[in-house]
Amino acid sequence: MPQSFPRSSGVLLHPTSLPGRYGIGDLGDSAYRFADFLLQSGQRLWQVLPLGPTGYGDSPYACYSAFAGNTLLISFERLLKLGLLVENDLSDFVQSPADVVDFERVHVNSNKLLAHAFERFKGLSNDAMTSAFERFQKSETAWLDDYALFRALKDAHSGTLWNEWESELVTRESSAIAAAQEKLRNEIEAQQFYQFLFFSQWYELKSYCNQRGIRIVGDIPIFVALDSADVWTNPEQFKLDKNLRPTVVAGVPPDYFSDTGQFWGNPIYNWERMQADGFDWWVKRVRAAFQMFDIVRVDHFRGFAAAWEIPAEDKTAERGRWVEVPGRELFEAIRTRLGELPIIAEDLGVITPDVEQLRDGLGFPGMHVLQFAFGSDATNTDLPHNYTRNLVVYTGTHDNDTTVGWFTSGEGKGSTRGADEIDREREFCLRYLNSDGREINWDFIRAALASVADVAIVPLQDLLGLGNEARMNLPNSTSGNWTWRFEEEVLTEEIGTRLRDLTRTYGR
């Protein structure tokens, strides 16, 4: 069993869900208070979703870069303390609700205030900050220069997809790139500065957590967005046509949850080309991820055995086909370059023997979800009595109902379960957990923590006992996701004490 995964537990909470006055959770004081809560409640892991700059739909799984950070998370309070903002800068702040993220308002506020911060930075005589920024520009130049140019060009084209820009920019002709760099010099430097602010704040928070024995579990989406600096700067690494448009796109086939499958639309990797250069782009990506996180969860791990490739012109996933992927060779190349790394394989969904062989051959722990445990009988692999040590158990994930929502909401948001099936599942659940259902979230938490699984993770929504109003994401939908936030006062000392006692009882 990898030394990276001692018996432990933690909480899943994306930073956008933290409380605060600026319309979205950020890397300021509330993040540090949450870290203190984890410490006081005996938790050693804080799991987050991908932290990249979100694009369409504000999904953390559809980012403008696999290397950059989400500047919406920059704490304005900390910029005030640095003198990069003053109170007057906040006078035209567009007020936002406290319990949900209004992304449209948040983007407006962030754009204004970060622009103020950059202008003030240029007017300051702060040699230490200037030197730190220059070091950041130099150390991250491999991705930062292209990303900053991409964002500056995207703004200059009113947000248009990069493969619809002028042809010489689409194909990155050297003279056109040089001209754009000169014309947009200030905008490019601003984008670099925003990344400097994000990573400065993120690494300060990560250090605070690590010094208190809390490790950060991050997330790598298997695919990247078409509308990203990654595809624009590395088109040869993807299956694109002569006009740099995808020939096939990613998704998953029809299953229990969807008659038409899931059409994600991400471009598919040109694995043959990637293998030819030793998977260099992937090695760089994983190296960057482990600079940001202590442990990495690899999303859609089954896609490293075979990917569901859908004709790009289709609208649903039904006509896709499975195409083999050199996953073993990829991870061996990563290990050769970077060494042994603490990776969790997100192996949910319909998993075939080749996926299990890949996961087990690499020694990665897979995932089990308690909400999936009660739909059949005692042989269900998601039931705790069937667990092995080398896995990670969740009460639920960001893609599921909350536990209370799953138990109480009838057919459930996005579920295809019928009434009889729901009744049987609920009855089995109560019998298995010896529960009366009144605190089903805590019954699930106890079962997860008591199991032999080396790692147990609980979404904060389940600690708080919230219903489906707090659900984070409904897969295969494009609106109303990623917006949930909690308010400071609901995370009580009583909850922390209860969690700490269970954690100690079960040796985590």
What 3-state DSSP class applies to 157? coil
DSSP state of 451: S
Extract long-range pairs of 411-418: CB within 8 Å, 24+ residues apart.
Answer: 412/468, 413/468, 413/471, 413/474, 414/257, 414/474, 414/475, 414/477, 415/257, 416/256, 416/257
Residue 28's CB is within 10 A of a number of other CB atoms, namely 24
DSSP state of 147: H
Pair 66, 53: CB distance under 8 Å: no
Q: Phi first, then psi: give them for residue 47, nearest 5 degrees.
A: -95, 135
Nearest-Å Rg of the Cα atoms of the chain is: 23
Taking the CA atoms of residue 199, residue 482, residue 26 and residue 34 in that order, the dihedral angle to the nearest 10 degrees is -110
Active site residues: 299, 346, 399
What 3-state DSSP class applies to 182? helix
Q: Is 299 left (phi over 0), alpha (psi -120 to 50) or beta?
A: beta
Q: And the tokens for 326?
A: 């050199």
Cα separation of 292 and 329, whole Å?
24
Cα separation of 258 and 317, whole Å?
10
Cα separation of 87 and 181, whole Å?
33
